[in-house]
Structure 1
Amino acid sequence: MAVYHSTLIRESIFIFSDNQNIQLSDLASEGLWFTLIGKGHGKYVIRVLVQLKDGGAYNFVININDDLVHRRFTQETNWLISIASSIQDQKLVEDFGSYWEEHQIFTEEYISGETVMQYLNRNQKEISSGTYPDRWQMRWLHFIWNGVTAYLEFWKRTDCTRMIVDASPKNIIIPEFDYYTGTRLISISEREKAILIREVFLSLYKNYILETERKFPGLKKMAEWEILFTVALEVFGLKLGSKMLRTIKKTHKDLGLSPARIKAYLNEVNVSGLLRKQVVFASLRYQRWLDLNPGATYKARGIIIQDLYKDYKLQALMEKYPETRIRFFLMTAFQDGNPHLVEKLNDLMIQMRSGSISEENLETHLHFIHDEIDLNEEEKYFLTRLVFEHVDAADYAELITRDVGKRGRLDLVVLIKDKNGQPFNIRPPFHPKEVARFHILLLEARLEVQFESNHEFLLIITKKDQMVGGVFWKKTGSGIAHLEKIVIAPPYQKNHLSIRLIEELFNRLRLKKFKFLTVGFFQSGLFYRLGFEIDQKFGGLVKKL
């Protein structure tokens, strides 16, 4: 067999285990195990488990030609390589290993886990009992969204010419939890011609959704056609996806699919933007938590909102969908909020999506909202955390407005404590006199400086409104800021205030999309501790934000 007369074992382990190079002498006694996974589509599929003397173990899969002509078997390997090859996108099928044409064998990655259908069968009793309806509604919606995405992505990678025959939950592995990645198709061997998106939609709706819901009555219908429309726009992009949806001209009354429904959906997307899966599921999970904790304080709600924002990696959507954070807060923190505030934030979300509001304009608009609307403590709390992402739910923080030239700016006061537990505020200057007081602090520290119109400031103030330190900086290039000087008054030194001040500066610069902060070599010990390094592309030290 090819296993014993070729480099198949060593080569497969090298490919599938991050370049581990083993010798056959490293194998344990009886260290090769073969398990038949299945037989079909003209080939045998066998799992290989390799155990080493040092306790290490590796898995991969061998596909052995049974009754396919050689040309067809080679074609299957080409399909697998073609569908798997994607640098930017997530994996859709197993990684391809090697092809031994003379032995009619190819290897591929072994993927553990059960298919969606196996998972549902294992949990059939709980599903049918109706004990946890919310859990299974969300999980089924997750399986639908990821499954339809994977099958549409396959169709896309065939240039919209071929669809998998068994586009059902039997042929796909999806992680149990909706914030995990790792959806994979099991087999792409059986394919059929599919040119129209209407054909693909009908196949998925009938075979993946309706058939499964008939088998598991406890799965309430969670996926209207709008979910499939949304997935199409996610997979193909807004422009091409919308064009493809408009090609559906035939009405299917029995299934609820019609051109009028598509038109209404696209009109809504044009106005409000595309509702991404992460935002939907983060919002649904928040609602489930709130249903279980109806008396939760707004600070407790703030903690769960921030946790969900991180768990679902919503920040990663911001570059392509800049309205994401406002949308998420509207669907959670402000879902039953002040109608005037909600209206203003909705307008702002729409304008951000269209690109008519830049990052700088956003501050001005939020300044107007903050000053024009009479906000209660809860609304101020959530608006602060909407604007300043780095402020933790439990931190004391307060929004302030100040005039900068002809524009209003919304800014932040945060409460910190030194190493002795003494409280201080970090904030920008409220008026020119505070800049003058900061200048005096610098002169008393024998730091000769010249303030410029493009300098910005961050100060440390005691509870009695006494200034004890500060830092100032300016923008020096696209995504680059330069820290000019930092000073702490002598009685307050060696209390970690300088570290807290610079860390707060890091947070605020990240919000403004700065990528690097440079500084000279003064007080280099402090800056080395904060992660600054020497970089030949920059003068002095640099911190990657």
Structure 2
Amino acid sequence: CWNIAHVSFAMWHETGRRFVPGDLSPANFLVPSADHKRGPKLVSLARRRAFAGLEDFVGALDDGFGRRVAADYPEVSPHLDVPTVLSALLDVVGVDQGLALVDAAVWEDDALAGAVSAYAAEVRAGGYIPHPLRFAVERYRAWATLADEPTKEARAATLQELEGTYALREVFAQRADLRVRFFRDTVLSDAPEWARVRLDALIDQLHTGALPPESLTEQVGLIRGAPGACDELEYFLTRLGYPHLSPEDEAAFMSGAGHAAWTDVVVTHEDTTGRIYRVRPPVNPKELSALQRLFLATATEVTFQSHHRFLVAVGERDTLLGGLFYELDADSRVAHLEKIVVAEHSRYLGVGDGLMEELFKRAATAGMSAITVGFYRRGYFYRHGFTVEGRHPGLVKHLE
């Protein structure tokens, strides 16, 4: 339904908003078999007709497409869903123009006018929901209904898969509130009422601009740390606040006080001998000094600067096993790994791999499309997916 309305409104828009398809039968449309695929097409434009207003066209869609589909598939409603049709209009012309067109249109049918008014009010109050997000939520709910008491890891993995299938990272990059909506309407739909109320407030603050997107992790942390938050709620809120975490990652939290309070995540790994180590940012200047000494012990001169970001791997009693530092360039969307080091007693045990894995996830979450590194230790970096490209200095790895 959405694809049919979208390709029809696209034709109307591309013809100077003068013409719409005259043949709205299902046979005149080529629609992808899966809702995450793009590219619906009109078979023929030969029977185009003059546009006579939104109400007329919505009615024509209902008669020409909706009723004919229902005749072949009785389980389908013969009437098109008004929000779905208007969502396609807003996607074609933009939210502001779309709402202006809806407001200016004459709606003589009372039931239709009520549905249109309700949808417009919903968009103005809560924002436009892009169709990939709507489809992803519907697909998750269909899976969850059929799944037999899925584990939280399975639910998180399904969410992660849908995020990739429907290209939701692009959607979330435009509006931070949409990622919260995605979680609220899927894995957190059965969360306690107090948590859902706070999520709704967070969505509203992000949508209106009262809360900057960079404050999302902190605000989610406040909900996660509230009394009454069960393990499952904490698990999903953690992944809402830290998108780079995999479903199977075992994560804890660290925080610091002072003039700039902060919270970050600690990810647990296991080396090749079965020993546990953790990857996290340094907690204080003492750890940064220890990291610098570790570099110096390998005859590597480094200079830490204020724009650098750091990750360290620590073992029992927070013994430093290794670390790296890097920088992010928001304009080019390319991160640069300055240096990585692993203590001699911890080499060849997978500690460096754990550091690199965490770097890749954090860089991708920060919106980076690639990571570069100097033209050295090529064998090591080739193993981690780096290559040589003429348009990047040194070595580069493209992030999926």
TM-score by length of 1: 0.66
Aligned residue type for 2:323: G
- Cα distance in 2 for residues equivalent to 1:371 and 1:408: 15
Aligned residue type for 2:103: R
Q: 1:237: which partner in 2?
A: 94
Return the offset for 1:542: 4.6
Q: Does 1:458 align with 2:311?
A: yes
Q: 1:304: which partner in 2?
A: 158
Aligned residue type for 2:57: V
Do the aligned partners of 1:402 and 1:408 also contact (CA within 8 Å) in 2? yes
Q: Does 1:469 align with 2:322?
A: yes
- Of residues 329, 344, 351 in structure 2, which corresponds to 1:497? 351
- Cα distance in 2 for residues equivalent to 1:369 and 1:169: 48
Greater shift in the superposed pair: 327-336 or 219-228: 219-228
- Of residues 29, 33, 44 in structure 2, which corresponds to 1:176? 33
* 1:215–1:470 Cα change, 3 Å: closer
Per-residue CA deviation, residues 246-305 of structure 1 (Å, 9 max, x unaligned), is: 12223213xx211x5433322211221112222222222222222223522222222222
Do the aligned partners of 1:455 and 1:473 also contact (CA within 8 Å) in 2? yes
Q: Does 1:289 align with 2:143?
A: yes
- Cα distance in 2 for residues equivalent to 1:389 and 1:221: 40
Q: 2:281: which partner in 1?
A: 428
Gaps of 5+ in 2: none
Q: Does 1:375 align with 2:232?
A: no
- Cα distance in 1 for residues equivalent to 2:79 and 2:351: 52
Return the offset for 1:221: 5.4
Q: 1:418: which partner in 2?
A: 271
For residue 355 of structure 2, give the secondary structure of its aligned residue in structure 1.
helix
- Cα distance in 1 for residues equivalent to 2:142 and 2:82: 24
Q: 2:340: which partner in 1?
A: 486
- Cα distance in 1 for residues equivalent to 2:79 and 2:324: 53
Per-residue CA deviation, residues 366-390 of structure 1 (Å, 9 max, x unaligned), is: 3433344542211121112223333
Gaps of 5+ in 1: 1-143
The equivalences for 1:109-508 within 5 A come to: 144-214=1-71, 216-220=73-77, 223-253=80-110, 256-258=111-113, 260-372=114-226, 374-398=228-252, 400-403=253-256, 406-475=259-328, 478=331, 479-508=333-362
Q: 1:122: which partner in 2?
A: none
Per-residue CA deviation, residues 156-197 of structure 1 (Å, 9 max, x unaligned), is: 221111122211212112233322334221111111111422
Do the aligned partners of 2:221 and 2:237 also contact (CA within 8 Å) in 1? no
Q: Answer 1 or 2: higher relative contact order, Cα 8 Å, separation at least 6.
A: 2
For residue 424 of structure 1, give the secondary structure of its aligned residue in structure 2.
strand
Do the aligned partners of 2:387 and 2:395 also contact (CA within 8 Å) in 1? yes
Return the offset for 1:541: 4.5
Considering fraction of residues, name the structure with more helix.
2
> Once the two structures are aligned, what percentage of the paired residues are identical?
29
Per-residue CA deviation, residues 62-83 of structure 1 (Å, 9 max, x unaligned), is: xxxxxxxxxxxxxxxxxxxxxx
- Cα distance in 2 for residues equivalent to 1:354 and 1:279: 19
Per-residue CA deviation, residues 292-328 of structure 1 (Å, 9 max, x unaligned), is: 2352222222222222222222223223343332211
* 1:365–1:423 Cα change, 3 Å: same
Greater shift in the superposed pair: 215-224 or 145-154: 215-224
- Cα distance in 2 for residues equivalent to 1:352 and 1:488: 40
Aligned residue type for 2:232: E
The equivalences for 1:6-25 within 5 A come to: none
Per-residue CA deviation, residues 468-505 of structure 1 (Å, 9 max, x unaligned), is: 11112344674454433321111111233223312321
- Cα distance in 1 for residues equivalent to 2:227 and 2:100: 41
Aligned residue type for 2:278: N
* 1:525–1:170 Cα change, 3 Å: closer
The equivalences for 1:90-109 within 5 A come to: none
For residue 249 of structure 1, give the secondary structure of its aligned residue in structure 2.
coil
Do the aligned partners of 1:341 and 1:373 also contact (CA within 8 Å) in 2? no
Return the offset for 1:333: 0.8
Aligned residue type for 1:447: T
Return the offset for 1:508: 0.6
Return the offset for 1:245: 0.7
| Structure of greater Rg | 1
For residue 191 of structure 2, give the secondary structure of its aligned residue in structure 1.
coil
Greater shift in the superposed pair: 353-362 or 189-198: 353-362
Root mean square deviation, CA, Å: 2.8
Aligned residue type for 1:415: T
- Cα distance in 1 for residues equivalent to 2:345 and 2:222: 40
Aligned residue type for 1:444: A
Return the offset for 1:461: 1.6
- Cα distance in 2 for residues equivalent to 1:518 and 1:421: 31
Return the offset for 1:211: 4.2
Do the aligned partners of 1:364 and 1:408 also contact (CA within 8 Å) in 2? no
Corresponding residue pairs, total: 398
Greater shift in the superposed pair: 442-451 or 327-336: 442-451
Do the aligned partners of 1:470 and 1:488 also contact (CA within 8 Å) in 2? yes
For residue 235 of structure 1, give the secondary structure of its aligned residue in structure 2.
helix
Do the aligned partners of 2:221 and 2:238 also contact (CA within 8 Å) in 1? no
- Cα distance in 2 for residues equivalent to 1:195 and 1:438: 70
- Cα distance in 2 for residues equivalent to 1:482 and 1:177: 38
- Cα distance in 1 for residues equivalent to 2:345 and 2:329: 33
Return the offset for 1:241: 0.7
